Amino acid sequence: MAADEKTEKATPKRRRDERKKGNIFQSHDLTSVLSLLLIFNALRLLAPYIYKYIQQAVQLFFSLAATMYPVTDGNIGDILVKAILLFMMAALPLLLVSMAGAVIFTAFQTKMLFSADALKFKGSRINPLKGFKRLFSLRSTIELLKAIAKISVLGVVIYLNIKNRIYEYPRLMDGSVVGALSFAGDSLVSLVNTVGIMFLVMGVFDYLYQWWDYEKNLRMSKQEIKEEYKQSEGDPQVKGKIKEKQRQMASMRMMQKVPEADVIIRNPTHYAIAIKYDSEKNRAPVVLAKGADRVALRIVEIGEEHGIYITEDKPLARGLFEAVDVDMEIPAQFYQAVAAILAVVYNMRKKKHASK
């Protein structure tokens, strides 16, 4: 069905949920190539430093072989400690560079994501049927083509590199060991850089492919977006019922204040506004209740039941209804009109008290 087709872009919530699960896109090829280039170029720069400690190790242990006899439990510990220290001094800088590079290149793509969900056991990962399906998927085909391209590029570059330098190899016999090692190191780093640059271009394309595949798998159907909206924002029908209930409760509270009013101004059936003025609490008359149509009729009914003075003034009723909210003081432009009505109410109350 059209509603079930995943044609819509993933929502921000879907992206956050997938990220929490550890489902992100990254190009392992790009990370591997950058790490490889970093390691071999760091090796080239650190070669004199590493060579120095290797030389110290060779000299030390050849000298110990001539002087330390016999090797016992008492002196083997010192030899082992010296060997470990020399190894650490020689290898640790390169190990730190390679580790930092892998972390940085991975963090650049994943934005330092760590998800425990990715470490959980999932039966689908060892399901033979799903594994067989993945074997003949588009992703597997792409990975196969990438592997063939890598092998082809690597083979061509190695062949051309050896072909261009093969005449130099016999001359190494006339040179020193250090010169031979330097030549071999330069040749190896040159080869790695050439291959690395080509693999880097392939890695960029792989990154773009991983992004496209990730976005494709993250797409949502229109029905999924609707369901997500209901979950995050609430079912519109439920929200409508809640708002209706809130309006009813607010209306009930408003109606309970009508008996406290001094006067009700009506229009005559469309609008009704109940007003009270307490000079000790308020600077101006306050609207206790207001309503239109049925609510207006109910306000008038309550007013009649409690003997509230009711007067008809169409412009004033409409103006107050549109300009003033419940429990608010009336604006200054209505002072004179409302004051005139309140004066009538107060005079009626005085006459009523005087007659008693």
- The amino acid sitting at 283 is R
SS (H, E, C) the chain: CHHHCCCECCCHHHHHHHHHCCCCCCCHHHHHHHHHHHHHHHHHHHHHHHHHHHHHHHHHHHHHHHHCCCCCHHHHHHHHHHHHHHHHHHHHHHHHHHHHHHHHHHHHHHCCCCCHHHHCCCHHHHCHHHHHHHHCCHHHHHHHHHHHHHHHHHHHHHHHHHHHHHHHHHHHHHCCHHHHHHHHHHHHHHHHHHHHHHHHHHHHHHHHHHHHHHHHHHCECHHHHHHHHHHHHCCHHHHHHHHHHHHHHHHHHHHHHHHHCCEEEECCCCEEEEEECCCCCCCCCEEEEEEECHHHHHHHHHHHHCCCEEEECHHHHHHHHHHCCCCCECCHHHHHHHHHHHHHHHHHHHHHHHHC
- The amino acid sitting at 107 is A
* Low-confidence spans in the chain with pLDDT less than 50: 1
pLDDT at 207: 84
- CA dist 34 to 73, 155, 214, 277, Å? 46, 20, 22, 79
Tokens (6 digits) for 146: 């990438």
Tokens (6 digits) for 354: 């005087």
pLDDT at 286: 92
User: What are the tens digits of pLDDT across the range 97-154?
Assistant: 888 888 888 887 777 666 555 556 555 556 666 655 666 667 778 778 888 888 888 8
Pairing of strands 271-276, 263-266: antiparallel
pLDDT at 148: 86
Tokens (6 digits) for 238: 């439920």
pLDDT at 274: 92
pLDDT at 19: 76
Short-list 254, 286, 279, 299, CA closest to 346:
279
Cα angle vertex 107, ends 101, 113, to 5°?
150
Say how far apart CA 53 and CA 86 lie, in whole Å: 6
pLDDT at 1: 46
User: What are the tens digits of pLDDT across the range 74-110?
Assistant: 777 777 888 888 888 888 888 888 888 888 888 877 7
For the chain, the distance separating the N- and C-terminal CA atoms, rounded to the nearest angstrom, is: 82
CA dihedral 251, 256, 261, 267 (to 10 degrees): 30
Say how far apart CA 51 and CA 286 lie, in whole Å: 92
- Residue 153, Cβ neighbours under 10 Å: how many? 16
pLDDT at 134: 62
Say how far apart CA 215 and CA 244 lie, in whole Å: 41
Whole-prediction pTM value? Answer: 0.46
Cα 247 from chain centre: 37
CA dihedral 291, 293, 294, 297 (to 10 degrees): 80
CA dihedral 35, 39, 45, 49 (to 10 degrees): 140
- CA dist 180 to 12, 48, 192, Å? 58, 14, 18
